[in-house]
Chain A
Amino acid sequence: DAGITQSPRHKVTETGTPVTLRCHQTENHRYMYWYRQDPGHGLRLIHYSYGVKDTDKGEVSDGYSVSRSKTEDFLLTLESATSSQTSVYFCAISEDIERELFFGEGSRLTVL
C-alpha cells in the first residue's frame, strides 16, 4: 500500500470554526490532490499541488485553501467551516499527472 496518511480521520466541528486536514506521504510523489466525496456527486477536486509551493484550484475550491511547504505534506484548510462542507475528504498522490492515483483512507468531517 502507498504510504499516505490522512489526519484526523474523523472530526466534528461547529459552523464558523477553522479546520485543517493533513495529508502526509512517504512516496516522494510530485502531485498531491484533495477531493471531496458526496452522495450523488462522486469525487470532486478541491485543490491540487504539482510541487512545493505550487498549487492550483479544482472545480470546488471556494471556501478552501491549501498549502504545501514540504514534498510530503499537503494541508487543506477550511477558514470558516459551513454545513455544506460536511463531507468525506480524500487525499491522493501521483508521480505524474497521467499516472495512477493512490488514495488515502479518507477524513470524515461533520460541520454542525
Chain B
Amino acid sequence: AQSVTQLDSHVSVSEGTPVLLRCNYSSSYSPSLFWYVQHPNKGLQLLLKYTSAATLVKGINGFEAEFKKSETSFHLTKPSAHMSDAAEYFCVVLEQAGTALIFGKGTTLSVSS
C-alpha cells in the first residue's frame, strides 16, 4: 500500500536562507510524486511533479525536489526563502497502478524577516 510521511509539521526559516521540507514515501511500485502548496484560505496549487523521468525536478517559484529511490525520499528545497513562500506544503504520492492521489499531512512553512 502506498503512503507518504512528511517528517516536519512546521518549519521556520529566515528570509534569504535555504528551505528544506522533507518527505518519505512508501510504495510497492514506481510512484509518481508531487508537491502542492496551499496559501491561507486558498485551494492547492501544483509546485512540481516527478513521473520517472529526471530525478531532479524543478518547479515554480524556484523550488526543486530530488527523487531518491534508495532512501524513498522526495524532499523539497529552495536556495533562498522569500516571505511569499509562507504557506502549507503537501507531498503527494500516486502508485503506478494508481487509483487516486494520497496526501501527506502537510508542513507549514513560516518565513521571518
Q: A42-B106, A43-B90 are in contact. Are A100 and B46 (CB under 8 A)?
A: yes
Q: A43-B90, A56-B99 are in contact. Are A101 and B44 (CB under 8 A)?
A: yes
Q: Which of B43, B98, B101, B102 contacts A106 (CB 8 A)?
A: B43
Q: Which of A58, A97, A105 contacts B94 (CB 8 A)?
A: A97
A-B contact count (CB 8 A): 51
Q: Judge whether B105 and A104 touch: CB under 8 Å.
A: no
**Which 10 pairs, one residue from A and one from B, show the smallest C-beta to C-beta distance?**
A103-B43, A42-B105, A43-B103, A103-B44, A42-B103, A42-B106, A100-B46, A48-B100, A105-B43, A45-B100
Chain B positions within 8 Å of A, measured between CB atoms, are 9, 32, 34, 36, 41-46, 49, 51, 90, 94, 98-106
**30 A-B contacts, Cβ less than 8 Å apart?**
A33-B100, A41-B105, A42-B103, A42-B106, A43-B44, A43-B90, A43-B103, A44-B103, A45-B101, A45-B102, A48-B99, A56-B99, A90-B43, A90-B44, A92-B43, A92-B44, A97-B94, A97-B99, A97-B100, A98-B94, A98-B98, A100-B34, A100-B46, A100-B49, A101-B44, A103-B43, A103-B44, A103-B45, A105-B43, A106-B41
